[in-house]
Amino acid sequence: MKTAFLVAGIILMASAVILTVIDKIRMRRLIRSLTKMLDDAMKGDFKETRFDESDMSYLESKMSEYLSRSVLSARQVEEEKDRIKSLISDISHQTKTPVSNLILYSELLAEEDLPESAGEKVASIRSQSEKLKFLIDSLVKISRLENGIISLNIIETDLGSIISEVCSELRPKAEEKGIGLFFEDTDTKIKCDPKWTYEAFLNIVDNAVKYTDKGEIRISVTDYEMYVKTDIKDTGTGIAESELQNIFGRFSRGENASRKEGVGIGLFLSREIVTGEGGYITVDSKIGEGSCFSVLLPRA
């Protein structure tokens, strides 16, 4: 009897060991299977597989179903991006020539001997055409950035050369209004996309010129441990405190801004660019005392 119990005990212990080993083997197989699924999904090579009806395979089946839907969703997103890319390209191409022609013909008309009232209308046509061109260009740029069609190429860049180029572009416009545009040169290096950073600074400084009727605009650079701060300070009309929180919104224009030319998209584009480069923009302003826009970008 004792021998029978002993044999039975040994058999039970052996069975338990065998079952444990089998469970470990099944668990390892499951982990390997799930790992392979995830690896294939990350590489974009995932393909759905059939499984049996055991508990472990049920988990594999659910994971497979989830990944299949994720891969399908990713493909749909890429297809949608391709459609948006094509649409943006068409808009940019199809509108470029008509708008350029409007500006050209308005310039030619302005050279004619026209009555004063007609001359004013021609000047208005040209102004609105240029506004339309700027709006279309800005919307195309924003759409390309937001949809990942254009990616920012972050490299070590000389900040001073970017701002100097912006000042050279806008100084004639400032001088025409009788205001000074000053920049304290710097040899500081930052991490950014030079082309898009130029676009961001151009929009901010252009706004400063646009909304400053007398006085000056000063651009200065301050080095910090992790960031480089560029201050664009003007003596313009200023922005009401209640409007500051919305100043970077798409098509946002303050009460004072509504009396000036513009479409309210430049600051939005600037913020999108700077944020994409790992930086941020702040603004300090008071009505009648001017504004100071501070652009902080990662230090090289």
Main-chain dihedrals φ then ψ at residue 84, nearest 5 degrees: -65, -40
Domain boundaries, the chain: 2-76, 155-298
Is 1.25.40.10 the CATH number for 155-298? Answer: no
Q: Is the dihedral of CA 167, 243, 130, 235 positive or negative?
A: negative
pLDDT tens, residue by residue, 21-39: 666 776 677 677 767 766 6
Is the pTM above the cut of 0.75? no
Dihedral angle computed from the Cα positions of residues 234, 237, 243 and 248, in that order, rounded to the nearest 10 degrees: -40
pLDDT tens, residue by residue, 198-236: 999 999 999 999 999 999 999 999 999 899 999 999 999
Mean of pLDDT over the chain: 78
Tell me the three-class secondary structure of the chain, residue by residue: CHHHHHHHHHHHHHHHHHHHHHHHHHHHHHHHHHHHHHHHHHHCCCCCCCCCCCHHHHHHHHHHHHHHHHHHHHHHHHHHHHHHHHHHHHHHHHHHHHHHHHHHHHHHHHCCCCCHHHHHHHHHHHHHHHHHHHHHHHHHHHHHHHCCCCCCCCEEEEHHHHHHHHHHHHHHHHHHCCCEEEECCCCCEEEECHHHHHHHHHHHHHHHHHCCCCCEEEEEEEECCCEEEEEEEECCCCCCHHHHCCCCCCCCCCCCHHHCCCCCCHHHHHHHHHHHCCCEEEEEEECCCEEEEEEEEEEC
Beta bridge partners of 220: 231
> In a 10 Å sphere around its CB, with 0-12 CB exposed, 13-18 middle and 19+ buried, how is residue 113 labelled?
exposed
pLDDT tens, residue by residue, 65-118: 666 666 656 666 667 666 766 766 677 767 778 888 888 888 888 888 878 888
Q: Percent of the chain, pLDDT > 90?
A: 31
pLDDT tens, residue by residue, 2-17: 566 565 566 667 666 5
